[in-house]
A and B are shown apart, each in its own frame.
Chain A
Amino acid sequence: MILDLKGIYKNYQAGDMEVPVLKNIDLQVKEGDYLSIMGPSGSGKSTLMNIIGLLDKPTSGTYLFDGINIADQNDHSLSSIRNKGIGFVFQNFNLMPRETALANVELPLLYAGVKKRKRREIATAALEKVGLADRMKFYPTQLSGGQKQRVAIARAIVNTPKILLADEPTGALDSRSGDQVMELFSTLNSEGVTIVMITHEKSVADCADKIVVIYDGELMSLGEYNERGQAQRSRQANTASAKKLTLEKTETQQQGGNDNG
């Protein structure tokens, strides 16, 4: 099991109030999985992503990353896990603007302590893999959005992480570039890379093998979400029609009154 989250809660302090953002999250991801986490904005999906990515700590609950209990780790070893165990892909690429594509991809290797020549070799291979062999010396400003995201993906996979963590990877891309990124994800997954992707777009989420939904801080299957959504919609519809009825009634009464008057 690469990710094993049990009973994860996360509260944020807003003034005097504790605002719960994640409620009792249970999530397991096995090696080779391709999982989408869907959810509307404000549902807590970014918070979940940060916790999975070891950028944030849960308020309570246990989180085992590749069998290691995160709660026991200090800053140093968390950095090391982020470096070698997790590859991040962000919505807005987050490339270093003053560095070339190659230097950007080399960055995680630098933090892993890989020697310069070896670094160059591995980073070049990663860029070739995402189809940017001819753009290695380009700066981010000289690349298109899709190319930038592919550089970011090369950077994410360069240390052969346990998991690729993508937060709205197509959010800032046109549909064609988005499709290319999704194709790349599928290829990587077929080669054995474990992927967890967060998105609010159903069409993007559909690329994954499995979809879960986070709604109002709770994690559920797509089916549950749809049921719940249906129930809610019908409830809303019922209330609405009830209101409408009452209104019509009052109106007729008033009209009647006027006629009388």
Chain B
Amino acid sequence: MFENIMLSFRGIRSHKMRSALTMLGIIIGIAAIIIIVSIIGGASAQLKNEMIGDSTNTVKISLYSRDEQYSPYSASEGGSIPGITTISEETIQDVLSVDGIEAAAAFYCNEYGLDVKYLDKTNYCSGYGVDLDYFPLSGRTLTSGRLFTQRDYDNRSNVIILTDSLAGQLFKNEDAVGKSVQLGNELFTVVGIVTKLVDYSEIESLSDYYLTIGMEDKGAYVPYTSWSDVAGYDDIQSLLVKIPDPDNIITSATAASDILNASIVSDKFQYKAGTLSEDADYLKEIMKITSILLIGIASISLVVGGIGVMNIMLVSVTERTREIGLKKALGARRRVILGQFLTESVVLTSIGGVIGVLIGIGIAKLVGIIIDMPTVISVGSIAISVGFSMGVGIIFGLVPSVKAANLNPIDALRYE
């Protein structure tokens, strides 16, 4: 085997130009497949991160109107909704017992409906009343100051944590930690600044998606015990759940929503997971079809490359007819001759495959930089590509190799 491979390398080296041109077909095919898979993989990873959740795999379950598309927050403006109560500790325990759910945190939320003031500056923000479990789940990380402590909850302290973009707008270059801001009618002391780890979004449709990615990330967090000072009411909560396996997101989130719905009495509102909208599925489906189509086209070039390999292998067999005859006379079995030519063909296409993978990765990275999109180069796709090019070598090398192996030794020796 090793000898065959060395022999193949020597054969390829002795026909550099011919081998390079033959490989070119395979190189182009494999590079095209790698580029397509990497870019589409990157695009869908981005889509998944931004639409379905993020790498922390958290899903927000919120209250929605049953029959209309408006948000419960506007419906509940100025007060509570009859039949809807705070999410109890028991309900959270029930949710945690759902298969696939690792953690859950209830929180109050008022999206982009709050004014926040510092000295004479006023800005708007989303307000959240959160518990201790919220930050580890939410995909936000502390950049300065501290997070809340149990004491803040026990003392109902007026402490607040701001997102870095909100703090930036209010305080410019000043250090925000230790300053007081007014949220609602109360003054709060800033204790920490958080930043987005990755984009945790609350998205229900494509239009929301485009709206949200254009929006600034302005949020203010207070302990849930202080929420009533901010909002004036405290009964509508959302639940943040962590579902590590993306494949479980739909089923687990639906099960959690059902548990939450069982805890309320309302024919107007229901809890729904703000995730995996049909739009997102549709978009993913389009991507899938596109990638299958593109890979199909790239495969055609691979087949064309394979035919090139077959052609050149047939030429090689004819050229080496005498050599084959001699080897047979010296006692080479059919299998040896078959192995020699098959190895040569596979070595040829494998080199092409490896070069194709390298070129493909290079171009995919370049395209990713140019159009500013992440590319996902999976080990799997590389392995499959190289494997595929080997397969092409075997399939298209088989006919010439069998032809060589079946040559009659005297005809081969007599060949001029």
0/1 per residue, A46-64, Cβ < 8 Å to B?
0000100101100000000
| Residues in B whose Cβ lies below 8 Å from that of A55 | 328-329, 409-410, 413
**Contact A108 B333, beta carbon cutoff 8 Å:** no
User: B327: CB under 8 A from chain A?
Assistant: yes
User: B334: CB under 8 A from chain A?
Assistant: yes
| Residues in B whose Cβ lies below 8 Å from that of A80 | 331, 333
| Residues in B whose Cβ lies below 8 Å from that of A82 | 328-331
Least Cβ distance of B327 to chain A in Å? 7
Known contacts being A53-B329, A55-B409, A82-B329, is A98 close to B334, with CB within 8 Å?
Answer: no
User: B66: CB under 8 A from chain A?
Assistant: no
Category for how many chain A residues contact B: 20 to 34
In the bound assembly, the distance between CA atoms of A244 and B149 in angstroms comes to 136
User: B323: CB under 8 A from chain A?
Assistant: yes
Known contacts being A94-B322, A96-B323, A111-B336, is A50 close to B328, with CB within 8 Å?
Answer: no
Known contacts being A55-B409, A56-B410, A94-B326, is A111 close to B333, with CB within 8 Å?
Answer: yes
In the bound assembly, the distance between CA atoms of A159 and B331 in angstroms comes to 11
Closest to A84 in B: B331
Category for how many chain B residues contact A: 10 to 19
Interface of A, secondary structure class, is: helix
**Contact B3 A110, beta carbon cutoff 8 Å:** yes
User: A186: CB under 8 A from chain B?
Assistant: no
User: B403: CB under 8 A from chain A?
Assistant: no
User: B262: CB under 8 A from chain A?
Assistant: no
User: B286: CB under 8 A from chain A?
Assistant: no
In the bound assembly, the distance between CA atoms of A96 and B331 in angstroms comes to 15
In the bound assembly, the distance between CA atoms of A128 and B181 in angstroms comes to 98
User: A124: CB under 8 A from chain B?
Assistant: no
Closest to A49 in B: B410
Question: Which B1-20 residues have C-beta < 8 A from chain A?
Answer: 3, 10-11, 14
| Residues in B whose Cβ lies below 8 Å from that of A76 | 333-334
**Contact B330 A88, beta carbon cutoff 8 Å:** yes
| Residues in B whose Cβ lies below 8 Å from that of A94 | 322, 326, 329, 413
Known contacts being A50-B410, A55-B410, A55-B413, is A111 close to B331, with CB within 8 Å?
Answer: yes
**Contact A108 B330, beta carbon cutoff 8 Å:** yes
Least Cβ distance of A44 to chain B in Å? 14
**Contact B410 A107, beta carbon cutoff 8 Å:** no
0/1 per residue, A88-115, Cβ < 8 Å to B?
1010001010100000000110111000
| Residues in A whose Cβ lies below 8 Å from that of B409 | 55
User: B283: CB under 8 A from chain A?
Assistant: no
**Contact B333 A79, beta carbon cutoff 8 Å:** yes
**Contact A98 B332, beta carbon cutoff 8 Å:** no
User: A147: CB under 8 A from chain B?
Assistant: no
Least Cβ distance of B13 to chain A in Å? 10
User: A75: CB under 8 A from chain B?
Assistant: yes
In the bound assembly, the distance between CA atoms of A55 and B330 in angstroms comes to 10
| Residues in A whose Cβ lies below 8 Å from that of B3 | 110
In the bound assembly, the distance between CA atoms of A82 and B409 in angstroms comes to 11
In the bound assembly, the distance between CA atoms of A69 and B14 in angstroms comes to 43
Least Cβ distance of A106 to chain B in Å? 10
Question: Which B294-327 residues have C-beta < 8 A from chain A?
Answer: 322-323, 326-327
Which A residues lie at the B interface, using CB under 8 A?
A: 50, 53, 55-56, 75-76, 79-80, 82-84, 88, 90, 94, 96, 98, 107-108, 110-112, 155, 159
Return 30 A-B CB contacts under 8 Å, by A number.
A50-B410, A55-B328, A55-B329, A55-B410, A55-B413, A76-B333, A76-B334, A79-B331, A79-B332, A79-B334, A80-B331, A80-B333, A82-B330, A83-B330, A83-B331, A83-B332, A88-B329, A88-B330, A94-B329, A96-B323, A96-B326, A98-B10, A98-B11, A107-B330, A108-B330, A111-B330, A111-B332, A111-B333, A112-B331, A155-B330
> Given known contacts A75-B333, A111-B331, what 19 new A-B pairs fall within 8 Å (CB)?
A53-B329, A55-B409, A55-B410, A79-B333, A80-B333, A82-B331, A83-B331, A88-B329, A88-B330, A94-B413, A96-B323, A96-B326, A98-B10, A107-B330, A108-B330, A111-B330, A111-B333, A112-B331, A155-B330
